[in-house]
Amino acid sequence: MPQTITTGYKQLLAEANARIETIAVGDALSLVGREDVVLVDLRDPRELEREGRMPGAFHCPRGMLEFWIDPESPYAKPQFQQDKKFVFFCAGGWRSALAAATAARMGLKPVAHIEGGFGAWKKAGGPVEEYHIRHGEPAKG
C-alpha cells in the first residue's frame, strides 16, 4: 500500500520561506568577501565539481548541517560558532530554504538564503571558480 504524505515539499518550502529572509541574487552578489557574512554552500561535492563554486563560500553538505551547527556535536564546525550572518544557498533555492529554516530553529541567527540558489547566481554573472573533489579546494591555474 502506498504511503500517504500529509505534508509535501511545497508546504514545507512555503512554511520555511515564510519564516526566513530570502535574499535576491542581485543583493547576494555584494556579500562575497564581507567579513560579517558566511556564505554556506549546501550542494553535494559533485555539484561543486560540475558547476563550480562561489569564491569564499563555506561548503557544508546538507546532510551534515545540523551536526556542524550544534556546538555539542562531535562534528561541530567553528564556522558556525561565529557572530556573523549565515546565508545559505544550494542549486535552486529549495534545500537552502529548508536548511535556513532548520538553522534558525536550532538558534543560529541571523540566517537567510539566496533566492534561486547557485543557478541564479551564475545566470546573474556572479563570480564562479572551479572546484575539484580530489583536492577539496578551488582549482589553481
pLDDT at 138 over 90: no
Quote the pTM value.
0.91
> Can you read off the three cell numbers belonging to residue 55?
569564491
Of the candidates 67, 94, 130, which has an alpha carbon nearest to the alpha carbon of residue 8?
94
pLDDT at position 141 is: 41
**How far apart are alpha carbons 39 and 5 in whole angstroms?**
33
pLDDT tens-place string over residues 51-106: 999 999 999 999 999 999 999 999 999 999 999 999 999 999 999 999 999 999 99
3-state secondary structure of 16: helix
Burial of 96 (0-12, 13-18, 19+ CB in 10 A): buried
* Model pLDDT, residue 114: 98
User: What cell was used for 114?
Assistant: 539566496
- Note the pLDDT of residue 53: 94
Mean pLDDT of 116-137: 87
pLDDT band, residue 135 (cuts 50/70/90): low
Domains, the chain, ordered by start:
11-127 (3.40.250.10)
